[in-house]
Structure 1
Amino acid sequence: MGSETRRMAPEARRAQLLDVLADLVLAEGYEAVSIDRVAREGRVARTVVYAQFGNLQGLLEALLERTQRRAVEQVQAIVVLAEAPSPEDIDGLIVDAVRTFGQIVLDDPRTWRLALLPADGAPAILRERTEAARGAIRAIVQPVVAWLLTQRGAPSGIDEELAAHAIVALGEDGAKLTMSDPVAYPPERMAEFARSLLRAFGR
């Protein structure tokens, strides 16, 4: 195993160390993170970590950047599915998006557990970057929400920005439930709940 570790390509090594860091943060929090700890858990010399990331802040920022990129790309993929030119079943489109998001969360729990991790205890720059990532996701969601409301014939006067905030917050809470207990809160249950809400609001 040691010889395989030494032969690891730089990009693969970077990804491996970020995985080590992610698991450490999720298990013990940001306060447990240090270059020494990551090197020890990753079974490499400290110099390898420094060579890849420069310092501890560089290491943490690289993890946050990867987490943000993956989360945003996954949300964008759902948005693309929701951009059918003339959908005949708007409610079905929304329900499918909820189901797809739940499955994405289950398929990549490391990314979403990190993305939704409370900012308490995180360095200030990471808290700022985390909120910026949430803002980026809301910016993706808001025009889609506006389009869906129009297509569905929603009452006039609905605040689209607040609607986007509410939907992102609901998505975050749903993702946490699914990750905490996927048997009790599977994507299909979340999708059926969305369908029930849509029925309650009528058209």
Structure 2
Amino acid sequence: MCCSRILGYFAMAARYNMSLSAQLAKIHDDATAERLLTVAADLMDAQGQTALSVRRVADAAQTSHRAVYALFGSMHGLLDALATLGYRDLATRVGELVPTDDPVADLVRAGVVGFRGFATSRPAPFRLTFDEISPAALQQNRVVEAAIASYDALADWVARVLDAGLIDPSRTDADCIFAFHATCQGLACSELAAQPPPAGPGFWRGVAPRDFDAV
């Protein structure tokens, strides 16, 4: 009898917690989630990732710390969401470019506007997305999908260069996209680390299409 009552109590408590979580998720909507992510990114840029905590982010966003748990599950969940947002940011920057009649110059511009634009405007989120993302985050479907989207955003620009016969036809789209993505990521990370390429900080601005011939 005693065991039955105890089991019944735990079952009731579990149902209550599930109900409370559902109610909190309804109370804290997408606008709250967006505000929390924006505030967290700003705090990261100002003070670094180690300055983040559930309470600090919630206080800065003028909401309760329960909102963080309801929307992201934990601080790690919030960081994973920031990384997901970072991949999407890159995809958006590259996707908004308007093509010209020079496919190689356009591809280079995708690197300068997309990668460098993201890195220099939001350095801490950029580092989180490309350097500091946790292995566990990369096992999550939403994070993986956003990461793939950042590669897909380059696909059309690479395809135009391939179609123009300016890349060795033995190289696949995937090879070229990965090589270009890795090159731009490396340049951006080097600049953020105050270790610019040999040409100096102005390398990105003066880059020419021929500089990417090897890619």
Give the aligned partner of residue 175 of structure 2: 162
Contact 1:20 1:42 in 2 (8 A): no
Contact 2:83 2:128 in 1 (8 A): yes
1:78 to 94, 109, 120: 94
Give the unaligned 5+ runs of structure 1: 1-8
Contact 1:95 1:191 in 2 (8 A): no
User: Does residue 127 in structure 1 map to residue 138 in structure 2?
Assistant: yes
Give the aligned partner of residue 51 of structure 1: 67
Distance 1:143 1:12, change over 3 A: closer
User: Take 1:24 and 1:123, find their aligned partners in 2: how far apart are those partners?
Assistant: 25
User: Take 1:94 and 1:57, find their aligned partners in 2: how far apart are those partners?
Assistant: 38
Give the aligned partner of residue 90 of structure 1: 103
Distance 1:14 1:197, change over 3 A: closer
Following TM superposition, by how much is the alpha carbon of 1:152 offset from its aligned partner in structure 2, in angstroms? 4.9
Following TM superposition, by how much is the alpha carbon of 1:177 offset from its aligned partner in structure 2, in angstroms? 0.9
Instruction: Tell me the secondary structure at the aligned position of residue 54 of structure 1.
Output: helix
Contact 2:94 2:154 in 1 (8 A): no
Following TM superposition, by how much is the alpha carbon of 1:97 offset from its aligned partner in structure 2, in angstroms? 2.5
User: Take 2:105 and 2:57, find their aligned partners in 1: how far apart are those partners?
Assistant: 46
User: Take 1:115 and 1:160, find their aligned partners in 2: how far apart are those partners?
Assistant: 23
TM-score normalized by the length of structure 1? 0.64
Following TM superposition, by how much is the alpha carbon of 1:14 offset from its aligned partner in structure 2, in angstroms? 2.4
User: Take 1:70 and 1:20, find their aligned partners in 2: how far apart are those partners?
Assistant: 13
Q: What pairs up with 1:1-203 in 2 under 5 angstroms? A: 10=32, 14-15=36-37, 18-19=40-41, 22=44, 26-28=48-50, 37-39=53-55, 48-54=64-70, 57-84=73-100, 87=101, 89-101=102-114, 102-119=116-133, 122=134, 124=136, 126-129=137-140, 130-181=143-194, 186=201, 188-198=202-212
1:143 alignment partner AA? D
Give the aligned partner of residue 5 of structure 1: none
Contact 2:86 2:125 in 1 (8 A): yes
2:99 alignment partner AA? E
Q: Which moved more, 1:127-136 or 1:10-19?
A: 10-19
Query: What is the RMSD computed on CA atoms of the aligned residues?
Result: 3.7
Per-residue CA distance 1:109-161 (angstroms, 9 max, x = gap): 12211101234xx372x232455433221222223312222135333222111
Contact 1:20 1:38 in 2 (8 A): no
Distance 1:104 1:152, change over 3 A: farther
Following TM superposition, by how much is the alpha carbon of 1:13 offset from its aligned partner in structure 2, in angstroms? 5.9
**Identity across matched positions, percent:** 16
Distance 1:195 1:183, change over 3 A: same
Give the unaligned 5+ runs of structure 2: 1-30
1:118 alignment partner AA? E
Instruction: Tell me the secondary structure at the aligned position of residue 64 of structure 2.
Output: helix
User: Take 2:155 and 2:34, find their aligned partners in 1: how far apart are those partners?
Assistant: 36
Contact 2:58 2:65 in 1 (8 A): no
How many residue pairs match? The answer is 177
Which has the greater radius of gyration? 2
Give the aligned partner of residue 22 of structure 2: none
